[in-house]
Amino acid sequence: MRVATPGRRALVVVSYTLSPAAAGCTSAFTLLAMLSASSLAFLKRLLDTPGPSGFESAPARVWREEAAHFANVRGDVHGNSMAVVAGAGEPTIMLAGHIDEIGVIVQHIDDEGYVYIAPIGGWDVQVLVGQRLRFLGAQGDVFGVVGKKPIHLLRPDDREKASKLTDLWVDIGAANAAEAGARLSVGDPGVIDSHTLDFPNNRIVSRSIDDRIGAFVVLEALRRYAAQPGAARVVATATTQEEIAWHGGGAAVSATAIGARMAIVVDVTFATDHPGIEKKELGHHPIGSGPVLTRGSIISPVALRLLRSTADALSIPYTLHAAGRDTGTDADAIHIAREGIATALVSIPNRYMHSPNELVSLDDVDRAATLIAETCRRVGTEIDFTDR
Ligand SMILES: [Zn+2]
């Protein structure tokens, strides 16, 4: 999910909760396939593989290798990955989750071998302070630590101030510029060095959940669809460059090529169950409350109806989220591709977005995959997407 640029609005949303799954209505949940051990291992591989916007080839390879077990896979010049399950052949549905993550890029190396970085995507600079970084150097990984003047040496009035990126540098242990330049070059990308953690209550914590979790959900949905396909030809897509995608990114390119009638975009949204959240601004989407379905100006009411009726039929809990303008996701590019694509947005509630410790519930992930697979099974050529 992109950070709004200055001058654009901060996301203003209203939402309300619908929970069609009454407590005790457990029979419908037998339809839910839980994430298998091999799917979970794939998810962790996907999360732990670095790939900031424009440099996503490593996680894209992981995604394509997994997809090749049950789908026809191809890539494009933009780095997008497409996995196709033909079904009976039509209509075509695009499922999109972005494979990139926020990161940093080497901007300059000084005479003493210190490295200066610029952001890839929307950072809170305070998150970078004190972190370990993993750069993707030409000769392999290069590790660095983000340096900042110790608090003892800050003037009293500076102690209260937020750090700016220009106050920070990266120390890779080089003795001088030549040594640093032999290991890193201007333009090398990097991410925070971290790995996925299992948390209690079927939750995980990781870097890059925004939006590897979406790339994972669309492939897991395709895996479940492939086990019992319907009429539709379904194309799961791991899109590139969403975090920098004011121009539409890989989603614009792949949506143009795929030629779908309908699209379901999967991204993360703000979980609203931690301190400091204003529900009157963000609605109510707690961790574990199921996928979040966006209703709003760019969303196809036909595609949303399909998702909601499927969720109701399967007793999958979900919440609604309202968006009175663009969504800060791939849906913004996809719904206006070609002659227009009926686009829905399914989001996973996520705490601590754009940090090394994003937190989601695997129950929400599993329900989103089941909901999308079953929705695809219910789409045939008779559906009139112009019926708004
Ligand atoms: Zn994001």
Per-residue CA distances from 67 to 44, 56, 62, 85 (Å): 15, 16, 9, 10
Per-residue pLDDT of the chain (388 residues; tens, 9 = 90+): 988 754 443 343 333 333 434 333 433 443 445 899 999 999 999 999 999 999 999 999 999 999 999 999 999 999 999 999 999 999 999 999 999 999 999 999 999 999 999 999 999 999 999 999 999 999 999 999 999 999 999 999 999 999 999 999 999 999 999 999 999 999 999 999 999 999 999 999 999 999 999 999 999 999 999 999 999 999 999 999 999 988 889 999 999 999 999 999 999 999 999 999 999 999 999 999 999 999 999 999 999 999 999 999 999 999 999 999 999 999 999 999 999 999 999 999 999 999 999 999 999 999 999 999 999 999 999 999 998 8
Is position 7 within any domain? no
The answer on 109 and 95 residing in a single domain is no
Alpha helices of 229-383 — where are they, by DSSP H? 249-258, 279-282, 301-314, 331-334, 362-377
Quote the number of domains for the chain. Answer: 2
The answer on 266 and 186 residing in a single domain is no
Containing structural domain, residue 74: 13-101+207-377
Exposed e or buried b per residue across 222-253, where buried means at least 16 C-beta atoms within 10 angstroms of its C-beta: bbbbbeebbbbbbbbbbbbbbbbbeebbbbbb
The answer on 370 and 231 residing in a single domain is yes
**3-state secondary structure (DSSP) of residue 65:** helix
Cα(382) to ligand 1 centroid in Å equals 36
Cα–Cα dist 178/111, whole Å: 8
Exposed e or buried b per residue across 353-387, where buried means at least 16 C-beta atoms within 10 angstroms of its C-beta: bbbbebbbbbbbbbbbbbbbbbbbbebeeebebee
The answer on 185 and 150 residing in a single domain is yes
Q: What pLDDT sits at residue 59?
A: 98
Cα(97) to ligand 1 centroid in Å equals 11
**3-state secondary structure (DSSP) of residue 358:** strand
Cα–Cα dist 216/171, whole Å: 34
Is position 199 within any domain? no
The answer on 224 and 185 residing in a single domain is no
Residue type, 10: A
**3-state secondary structure (DSSP) of residue 123:** coil
For the whole prediction, is pTM greater than 0.85?
yes
Residue 88 CA neighbour count, 13 Å, CB half: 11
The answer on 179 and 166 residing in a single domain is yes
**CATH of residue 62:** 3.40.630.10
Query: 59 with 207: CB under 8 angstroms?
Result: no
Cα(271) to ligand 1 centroid in Å equals 14
The answer on 219 and 274 residing in a single domain is yes
Cα(375) to ligand 1 centroid in Å equals 26
Cα(175) to ligand 1 centroid in Å equals 36
Q: What pLDDT sits at residue 19?
A: 40
Strands 92-98 and 233-239, how do they pair? parallel
